[in-house]
Chain A
Amino acid sequence: MLLLELFWSFVKIGFTSFGGLSMIPLITSEMLAHGWMTAEEVSDIVGIAEMTPGPVGLNCATFAGMRTAGIIGAFAANLGALVPSLTFCALAAMFFERFKNSRRMTQVLVGVRPASLGMIAGMMVTMTMQNYVRADTVSWVCVGIGLLDALLLMKWKVSIPAVIGISAVLGLLFFGVLGL
C-alpha cells in the first residue's frame, strides 16, 4: 500500500502548506519519517526543483514518487499534492465573491506565515549542518561556494538557475578535478 501512503503523505503536505517554500520542511519531515529519502536527497531535490519548470512542491512529489514506486508513484504523489486545489479551492471557487473577503482566512494566515518562517529557519539550520559537512568535518570549500552563492543571489541579483549552474561547475572543479 505504498501508493496509498505516498498519496496520503502529499495530501497532508498539501493541506498544511501555503506557498512553495513552506512545503519544504513538511516534505523533509514526511520523507525522513517514512525513510523515502535521505536528508541529502532532500537538498538535491530542492536544487533540482529550482532548476526545472514546475513548483518545488510538485517537483518534490514527482521525485519522491519516482524514487519509491516509479512513475505510478509520481502520479499518486502529484495527485495527493493537488487534492487541496481539487477540493478546498473548488469550494472557494463556488463561493468566490464571499471568499474573496473572508476574514477568517486572513486571520489564519496572520499566524501561519510566521509559523512557516520559523519552520523554514529550523530546516535551514539542519540543512546547513548537513550540506557543509563532508566526512564528519566542515568542508570550507562548500562554505566558500555557499557564501559566493549568497553574494551572487542577494547582492548581484543573479538568477537562481544560473547560481545552481555555477555551483555545480565549482563542485566539479573542486571535488572532481582537484579531488578535494
Chain B
Amino acid sequence: MKRFRKILTLFLEFMKFGCFTFGGGWSIVSQMQKLYVERKKTITAEELLDLTSVSRSLPGTMIGNVAMLYGYRMAGYPGGVVCAIGLTLPPLAILAVITHFYTLFRTNVWVAAAMTGVRAAVVPIILSAVLGLIKGAFQYPPCYAVAALTLGLYLIWNVNCVWLVLIGAVCGIVICEVYKRRNGNAAA
C-alpha cells in the first residue's frame, strides 16, 4: 500500500512537470531541482546532474530518460514507467487538441496565412539551437569529416537517417580508439 501511494505520488508529480515543459527538457530539470533537491531533499543537486547527463547520452527523448532514471531510483521499474508516462500525458493531450483544430482549420485562408509566417520562422529557430550545439560537437578534427559525410549522404544520396546515426556511432568509437592509441604511444 505504501509503495502504491509512492508510485501514485510520483505519477502526479511528473504529470504536473509535464504541463510546463516549454522548450524541451531543461524546464523539467529545473522543476525537479526545485521540488526534489530543494523541498523534498530526495536527491542531491549532484545526483540530479548525474541523472541529466546520463539521460542526455542515451538514445530517446531526454525527459523520458530523466523520468525513468529518477522513478527507478525512487520506486524501482514501475516507478520509472509511471514517471515517464505521467510526463508524456499532458503534452499528448494538449497537442491532440491542437492537431484536431489544425486539421479542421489549416485550409482556412487566415490560418494558412499565419502558418506561412510560422514556417518562415522554423529554419532560424533550428539554426539558433544548432549554434549552441556546435561547441561540444567537434571534439577531434575528424569529427568535421563525419558531419560533412552525413550532410552529403543526407542531401545527395538521401540515405536513411537511421544509417547515418549508426555510421556516426561507429566513427565515434574508431576516432576515440585511434586517438587513444596515438596518445598512448606518444606517452611511451
List A residues at the B interface (Cβ < 8 Å). Answer: 12, 14-21, 23-26, 29, 40, 43-44, 46-50, 52-59, 62-63, 66-67, 71, 74-75, 78, 81-86, 88-90, 92-94, 96, 99-100, 104-128, 130-132, 134, 142-143, 145-147, 149-150, 153-154, 160-161, 163-164, 167-172, 174-176
CA distance A114 to B152 in the complex (A): 13
Q: Is the CB of A14 within 8 A of B96?
A: no
Could you give, for residues 3-43 of chain B, a 1 whenever the CB lies within 8 Å of some chain A CB and a 0 otherwise? 00000000000000011111111000000000000000000
Given contacts A85-B67, A88-B59, contact A171 B114 (CB under 8 A): yes
Instruction: List 16 A–B pairs whose Cβ atoms lie within 8 Å, in order of A's numbering.
Output: A20-B62, A40-B119, A46-B126, A49-B95, A52-B91, A52-B95, A58-B64, A62-B92, A74-B92, A111-B167, A111-B174, A116-B168, A118-B164, A121-B147, A147-B124, A168-B118
CB-based nearest B residue for A99:
B54
Q: Is the CB of B99 within 8 A of A53?
A: no
The one of B58, B138, B161 in contact with A89, judged by C-beta atoms closer than 8 angstroms, is B58
Q: Is the CB of B25 within 8 A of A90?
A: no
Q: Which 8 A-B pairs have the closest CB atoms?
A: A171-B117, A111-B172, A54-B91, A115-B168, A84-B60, A118-B150, A85-B64, A122-B154
CA distance A54 to B56 in the complex (A): 16
Q: Is the CB of B130 within 8 A of A52?
A: no
Residues in A neighbouring B123, C-beta threshold 8 A: 124, 127-128, 131, 146
A53-B20, A55-B61, A111-B168 are known; give 15 further A-B pairs, CB within 8 A: A14-B59, A19-B56, A44-B119, A54-B18, A58-B91, A66-B100, A67-B103, A106-B176, A111-B169, A115-B164, A115-B167, A142-B120, A167-B117, A175-B117, A176-B109
Given contacts A54-B91, A67-B103, A113-B136, contact A104 B120 (CB under 8 A): no
User: In the assembled complex, how far is the CB of residue B158 from the closest CB belonging to chain A, in whole angstroms?
Assistant: 8
Residues in B neighbouring A119, C-beta threshold 8 A: 150-151, 154, 161, 164-165
Is B171 part of the binding interface, using a Cβ–Cβ cutoff of 8 Å? Answer: yes
Is B187 part of the binding interface, using a Cβ–Cβ cutoff of 8 Å? Answer: no
Given contacts A88-B59, A128-B123, A146-B120, contact A81 B155 (CB under 8 A): no
Q: Is the CB of A20 within 8 A of B25?
A: yes
Q: Is the CB of A62 within 8 A of B96?
A: yes
User: In the assembled complex, how far is the CB of residue A77 from the closest CB belonging to chain B, in whole angstroms?
Assistant: 9
**Which of B77, B134, B173 is packed against the most chain A CB atoms within 10 Å?**
B173
CA distance A23 to B106 in the complex (A): 24
Q: Is the CB of A81 within 8 A of B61?
A: yes
CB-based nearest A residue for B117:
A171
Q: Is the CB of B176 within 8 A of A107?
A: yes
The one of B23, B61, B144, B171 in contact with A58, judged by C-beta atoms closer than 8 angstroms, is B61
Q: Is the CB of B169 within 8 A of A112?
A: yes
Q: Is the CB of A171 within 8 A of B120?
A: yes
Q: Is the CB of A59 within 8 A of B95?
A: yes
The one of A66, A109, A120, A176 in contact with B99, judged by C-beta atoms closer than 8 angstroms, is A66
